[in-house]
Amino acid sequence: MAAISSLRRLLTQKIRTPTGCLAYATHGNVVGQTEPKQPSFVGRHFLTLKDYNKREVEHLLWVAADLKTRIKTAEEKYKPLAGKTGALYFQKRSTRTRMSSEAGFSILGGHPLFLTDNDVHLGVNESMYDSAKVISRFVDFFLGRVYYHSDLEEFAEQASIPIINALSELYHPLQALADLQTLQEHYGSLKGLTIAWVGDGNNIINSLMMAAPKFGINLKIATPKDYGLESFVIDDCKKITKENGTDLHITTDPMEACENANVIVTDTWISMGQEEEKLARLKAFEGYQVNKKMTEVASSDWCFLHCLPRKPEEVDDEVFYSDRSLVWDEAENRKWTVMAVMLTLLKDHVLKTPKPRF
């Protein structure tokens, strides 16, 4: 209780940080911050982190950290989205994405509407164009977990409200944000880390490729032959790595990818909609299970991430349940990061906690 009381006082008094003095007075949309006014995302879409520069992604992560500190640690009752309504549309079932977005929006005071294909005519009995026009009149934002990224792009073209990508076959930007927040909390900074990806060339690694290099993170990616990355994603990532002076290494050898890596990441080998490919995929991914052998060649401070749900063939119990596994923190941070996205797309947020080191 004493710690919580101290934090409450911190959030309502003057705060001194290593980068400057913070007084309790609004400067832009940061309480007393001496740096320039923070970016505004009000009305923007959130389809891919490719569309957000380093400073903008930093801001989203700062908002997530601010909300986590104020709401979870200091127990602040903060309802900036009271009176707002959001449509949460899921073509694919979900545990973390649904619960984090529905609970997070409610915590901020909003009213979530959970929708599936059984509830709305989206793109079936009603065109995507018409659906976007109609839904924009009812809610303040639309969050979609869909099979095809092109559906979100088409919807966003016609919608007059922010559209949030909660997963498509191409990108999963909300997961990448949660991963970055988890790594920042664990290491204290992101710059100079090396992430090893071991697995399918899917939407998770695609999203990390659009964001991680902007923070000075190097990427080493191992995928089986015929299950690699899209060429245009590689091209986009090469441009980002060049701009930020980081390295991108692509291989088919998991051990090579894990060598000297700080972070080892994997994901499901068989995504929803790929069930008919199960036998072929299991054969192709032989040798890709994350295990002790891979961690032995990694950096001495290695950690492990997995967006869940996990299957034993992807990572063994010894690694998954070890004290180096950050999967539970990673899952929790899905809530704080989606809250940051929903909040900043709807209104400018006044930050009260010091900026994390990135």
Catalytic amino acids?
A: 307
Cα Rg of the chain (Å, integer): 20
- Residue 337: in which H helix or E strand, if any? helix 327-346
Would you give the end-to-end CA distance of the chain in angstroms?
Answer: 30
Burial class (CB in 10 A: 0-12, 13-18, 19+), 289: buried
Amino acid occupying residue 136 = S
CA–CA dist 109, 103 (Å, integer): 10
| 220: nearest Cα among 321, 330, 302, 328 | 302
Residue 83 gets the label, from left (phi > 0), alpha (psi -120 to 50) or beta, of left
- The separation between CA 147 and the C-alpha centre of its own chain, rounded to angstroms, equals 18
| Residues 49 and 175 sit within 8 Å (Cβ to Cβ) | no
Residue 21 gets the label, from left (phi > 0), alpha (psi -120 to 50) or beta, of beta
How many Cα atoms are found within 13 Å in the side-chain-facing hemisphere of 14? Answer: 5
CA–CA dist 60, 149 (Å, integer): 22
| Residues 280 and 239 sit within 8 Å (Cβ to Cβ) | no
Residues contacting residue 174 through CB under 8 Å, at least 6 positions apart: 97, 164, 165, 166, 167, 334, 337, 338, 341
Angle between helices 54-67 and 173-187 (to 10 degrees): 70
Q: Which two tokens stand for residue 214?
A: 């902007």
